[in-house]
Amino acid sequence: MELIANLGLGFETALSPVNLLYCFVGVLLGTLVGVLPGIGPTATIAMLLPITFSLSPVTALIMLAGIYYGAQYGGSTTAILINLPGESSSAVTAIDGYQMAKKGEAGPALATAALGSFFAGTVATLVLALAAPPLARAALNFGPPEYFSLIVLGLVASIALAHGSILKALAMIVLGLLLGMVGQDIYTGTPRFTFGFFELYSGLNFVSVAVGIFGVAEIVRNLEDETTRDVMIKRVSNLWLTRAQFRRIAAPVVRGTILGSALGVLPGGGHVLSSFASYSMEKKLSKRPQDFGKGAIEGVAGPESANNAAAQTSFIPMLTLGIPAHPVMALMIGAFIIQGITPGPNVINDEPALFWGIIVSMWVGNLMLVLLNLPLIGLWVKLLTVPYRVLFPAIIVFASLGCYAIASNNFDVYAIAVFGIIGYVLVKLGCEPAPLLLGFVLGPLLEEHLRRAMILSRGDPMIFLHRPISAVLLALAVLALVVAVLPSVRKKRDEVFVEED
Partner 1 sequence: MDRAGIKDILSGLLFVGFGAAFGYAATGYPLGTAFRMGPGYFPLLLAGALAVLGVAILIKGVTAAAADSPVGVVPWRGALFLLGALVYFGATVRGLGLVLALFGTALLSALASRHNAPLAAVAIAAALTVACVAVFHYGLGVTVPLFGPWLR
Binding site for partner 1 (CB under 8 A): 51, 54, 165, 167-168, 170-171, 174-175, 177-178, 181, 185, 187-188, 190, 192-193, 216, 219-220, 223-224, 226, 228, 387-390, 392-394, 396-401, 404-405, 408, 410-411, 413-414, 416-417, 420-421, 424-426, 428-431, 447, 450-451, 454-455, 458-461
Which H, E and C letters describe 423-436, residue by residue? HHHHHHCCCCCHHH
Our CB check for partner 1 shows the closer of 118 and 147 to be: 147
Our CB check for partner 1 shows the closer of 84 and 413 to be: 413
Nearest approach in angstroms of CB 28 to partner 1 is 15
Our CB check for partner 1 shows the closer of 396 and 496 to be: 396
The half-sphere exposure of 68 on its side-chain side, counting CA atoms within 13 A, is 32
Nearest approach in angstroms of CB 393 to partner 1 is 4
Nearest approach in angstroms of CB 169 to partner 1 is 10
**CB–CB of 214/327 below 8 Å?**
yes
Nearest approach in angstroms of CB 413 to partner 1 is 4
Nearest approach in angstroms of CB 11 to partner 1 is 29
Our CB check for partner 1 shows the closer of 4 and 429 to be: 429
| Rounded Cα gap, residues 144 and 147, in angstroms | 5
Cα 454 to its chain centre, rounded Å, is 33
Nearest approach in angstroms of CB 32 to partner 1 is 14
Our CB check for partner 1 shows the closer of 316 and 403 to be: 403
Nearest approach in angstroms of CB 155 to partner 1 is 12
| Rounded Cα gap, residues 125 and 440, in angstroms | 29
Our CB check for partner 1 shows the closer of 1 and 429 to be: 429
Our CB check for partner 1 shows the closer of 285 and 405 to be: 405
CB-based contacts of 456: which residues, under 8 Å, 6+ apart? Answer: 143, 144, 145, 463
Our CB check for partner 1 shows the closer of 94 and 431 to be: 431
φ/ψ (deg, to 5) at 318:
-70, -45
| Rounded Cα gap, residues 156 and 173, in angstroms | 9
Our CB check for partner 1 shows the closer of 98 and 419 to be: 419
State how far the alpha carbon of 55 is from the alpha carbons of 18, 61, 62, 233, 414, in Å: 10, 9, 11, 39, 27
Our CB check for partner 1 shows the closer of 167 and 285 to be: 167
Q: DSSP for 172-233, please give it.
A: HHHHHHHHHT-EE-TTT--EES-TT-GGGTT---HHHHHIIIIIIHHHHHHHHS-PPP----
- Alpha-carbon Rg for the chain, nearest whole angstrom, is 22
Which H, E and C letters describe 150-180, residue by residue? HHHHHHHHHHHHCCCCHHHHHHHHHHHHHHH
Angle at 169 (CA atoms; ends 167, 172), nearest 5 degrees: 110
Nearest approach in angstroms of CB 442 to partner 1 is 12
Nearest approach in angstroms of CB 298 to partner 1 is 33
Our CB check for partner 1 shows the closer of 193 and 240 to be: 193
Nearest approach in angstroms of CB 462 to partner 1 is 11
In terms of Cβ atoms closer than 10 Å to its own Cβ (0-12, 13-18, 19+), residue 54 is exposed
CB-based contacts of 166: which residues, under 8 Å, 6+ apart? Answer: 159, 160, 481, 484, 485
Our CB check for partner 1 shows the closer of 147 and 398 to be: 398
Nearest approach in angstroms of CB 402 to partner 1 is 9
**CB–CB of 203/183 below 8 Å?**
yes
Nearest approach in angstroms of CB 251 to partner 1 is 39
Angle at 358 (CA atoms; ends 273, 70), nearest 5 degrees: 50
Residue type, 407: A
Our CB check for partner 1 shows the closer of 17 and 430 to be: 430
Which H, E and C letters describe 77-136, residue by residue? HHHHHHCCCCCHHHHHHHHHHHHHHHCCCHHHHHHHHHHHHHHHHHHHHHHHHHHHHHHH
Nearest approach in angstroms of CB 359 to partner 1 is 28
Q: Is 369 helix (H, G, I), strand (E, B) or coil?
A: helix
State how far the alpha carbon of 332 is from the alpha carbons of 282, 376, 481, in Å: 33, 28, 27
